[in-house]
């Protein structure tokens, strides 16, 4: 039987779309959003994926929202909960309940630039290499065990939008790839906050920025 995942979104849903388009050996049991206006919901529904809204504004506390969200998720009995631009912070209780089953993509090379406006942070810091990270979620925001990262150059004339677009293209490759490995049972928790991906990988050399032409 194929493994089941649930995807959580809050907006555009381009990572969700990349996951749906990848033809992964898993079943997307539902797409859940905390906002009814999230564009990704329509996209998922158009592909026949069940969609659900658990509107956080209807709950008096974060704990009440998290409890309702957890119940909704558990209703689909997923083995993995995939955060794809889900813009709510979780309570420790929620994270504990889904420990090891909660995965996220963050648009920076963690542990650099946790939080919001990561591309702005990268430009302000003057880094020459930036990227994205897929990691398991722990209580500390944007700090869980790292599964995989993709790096891009930061170019001299970059704007926040240009850099964000370059990183996003990598996100759309990296997240489906990680979920494929997960579905194949290749992610191994080594303890101490470290994940090993089983299998052999080629080293694709180095990324140096700036790099002279020719
Ligand atoms: C992505 O940049 C993701 O890394 C971050 O939020 C953004 C979501 O974009 N967590 P989308 O909704 O997947 O298009």
Sheet holding 51-53, edge to edge: 51-53, 26-33, 3-9, 80-83, 102-106, 129-136, 146-153, 194-197, 187-191
Residue 204 has pLDDT above 80, yes or no: no
User: Residues 34-52: pLDDT tens digits?
Assistant: 999 999 999 999 999 999 9
Q: Decide if 49 contacts 27 (C-beta within 8 A).
A: no
Regarding the beta carbon of 85 and ligand 1, being less than 6 Å apart is answered yes
State pLDDT tens for residues 66-84.
999 999 999 999 999 999 9
For 103, residues 6+ apart whose C-beta sits below 8 A from its C-beta are 80, 81, 82, 83, 134, 135, 136, 137, 147, 178, 182
User: Is the pLDDT reported for residue 57 higher than 80?
Assistant: yes
Give distance in angstroms: CA of 140 to centre of ligand 1: 19
Which residues are CB-neighbours of 192 under 8 A, at least 6 positions away?
Answer: none
Residue located via tokens 């194929």: 2
Task: Using a pLDDT cut of 70, give the percent of the chain over it.
Answer: 100
Active site residue 130: no
- pLDDT value at 114 more than 90: yes
Q: What is the DSSP letter of 139?
A: S
Three-state DSSP class for 73?
Answer: helix
CATH architecture type of domain 3-180: 3-Layer(aba) Sandwich (3.40)
Angle between the N-to-C axes of helices 118-125 and 160-183, in degrees from 0 to 180, rounded to the nearest 10: 120
Please state whether the predicted TM-score (pTM) of the whole model is above 0.75: yes
CA 8 to mean position of chain CA atoms: 9
pLDDT 10s digits, 94-110: 999 999 999 999 999 99
* Residue 15 contacts residue 43 (beta carbons within 8 Å): no
Q: Ligand 1 mean position to 33 CA, how many Å?
A: 13
Pocket test for ligand 1, best of 22, 37, 84 (most atoms within 8 A of CB): 84
pLDDT band for 202, please (50, 70, 90 cuts): confident
CA of 84 to the centre of ligand 1 (A): 6
For 12, residues 6+ apart whose C-beta sits below 8 A from its C-beta are 38, 39, 40, 85
- CA dihedral of 1, 77, 132, 138, whole degrees rounded to 10: -130
- Please state the domain extents for the chain: 3-180
């Amino acid at each position: 039987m194929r493994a089941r995942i649930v995807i959580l979104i809050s907006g555009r849903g381009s990572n969700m779309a990349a996951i749906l388009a990848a033809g992964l050996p898993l079943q997307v049991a539902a797409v859940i959003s905390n906002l009814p206006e999230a564009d990704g919901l329509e996209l998922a529904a158009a592909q026949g994926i069940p969609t659900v809204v658990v509107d956080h504004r209807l709950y008096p506390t974060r704990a009440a929202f998290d409890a309702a969200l957890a119940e909704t998720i558990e209703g689909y009995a997923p083995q993995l909960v995939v955060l794809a631009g889900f813009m709510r912070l979780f309570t420790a209780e929620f994270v504990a309940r889904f420990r090891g089953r909660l995965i996220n993509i963050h648009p920076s090379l963690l542990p650099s630039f946790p939080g919001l406006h990561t591309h702005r942070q990268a430009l302000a810091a003057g880094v020459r290499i930036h990227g994205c990270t897929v990691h398991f979620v722990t209580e500390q925001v944007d700090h869980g065990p790292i599964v995989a990262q993709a790096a891009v150059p930061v170019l001299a004339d970059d704007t926040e939008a240009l850099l964000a677009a370059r990183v996003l293209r990598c996100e759309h490759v990296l997240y489906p790839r990680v979920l494929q490995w997960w579905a194949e049972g290749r992610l191994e928790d080594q303890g101490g906050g470290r994940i090993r991906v089983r299998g052999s990988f080629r080293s694709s050399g180095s990324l140096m920025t700036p790099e002279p032409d020719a």
